[in-house]
Amino acid sequence: MKVKFNRSALQEALNLVGSIIPSRTPKPILQCLHIATEEESVRISATDLEVGITCLVSQVEIAEHGSIVVPADKLASIVRESFDDVIELEATESAVYLTGSDSRFTIYSHDPDQYPVVPGFEGEADLEVKLDLLQEGIEQSVFAAAKESTRYALNGILWEVHGKKLALIATDGRRLAKTTVSLEKGATLPEGRIIVPAKTMSLLDKIPMRDGGTAAIRFVDNQIVLGCETVVVSSTLVEGNFPKYEDIIPKDYDNKLELPTDAVLSAVRRAALLANEDSKGIKLSLEKGALIFTSRAPETGDAQIDMDIEYDADPMEIGFNPQFLIDVLRVMKADTFELHLGSSDRPGLIKSGSNFLYIVMPVNL
| Domain segments of the chain as ranges | 2-114, 127-245, 250-360
- Give the type of residue at 152: Y
For residue 74, pLDDT beyond 80: yes
Given this model, what pLDDT does residue 277 score? 73
Per-residue pLDDT band for 276 (boundaries 50, 70, 90) equals confident
Lowest mean pLDDT among 99-113, 242-256, 349-363: 242-256
Given this model, what pLDDT does residue 150 score? 64
Residue in 189, 105, 198 with CA at minimum distance from that of residue 146: 198
Which CA distances in Å does 136 have to 130, 197, 332?
A: 10, 17, 9
CA distance 162 to 142: 20
- Show contacts of 277-280: CB within 8 Å, 24+ apart: 279/365, 280/319, 280/321, 280/363, 280/364, 280/365
pLDDT tens for 31-61 read 999 999 999 999 999 999 999 999 999 999 9
For residue 280, pLDDT beyond 90: no
Under CATH, what is the fold of the domain 2-114? DNA Polymerase III; Chain A, domain 2 (3.10.150)
Given this model, what pLDDT does residue 75 score? 97
Provide CB contacts within 8 A for 354, sequence distance 6+. Answer: 180
The CATH number given to 250-360 is: 3.10.150.10
pLDDT tens for 252-274 read 898 899 999 999 999 999 999 98
Question: Do 250-360 and 2-114 fall under one CATH topology?
Answer: yes
* Predicted TM-score (pTM) of this structure: 0.91
**DSSP character for 270?**
H
For residue 365, pLDDT beyond 90: no
Answer CATH for 127-245 from 3.60.15.10, 1.10.287.610, 1.10.8.640, 3.10.150.10: 3.10.150.10
CA distance 319 to 338: 17
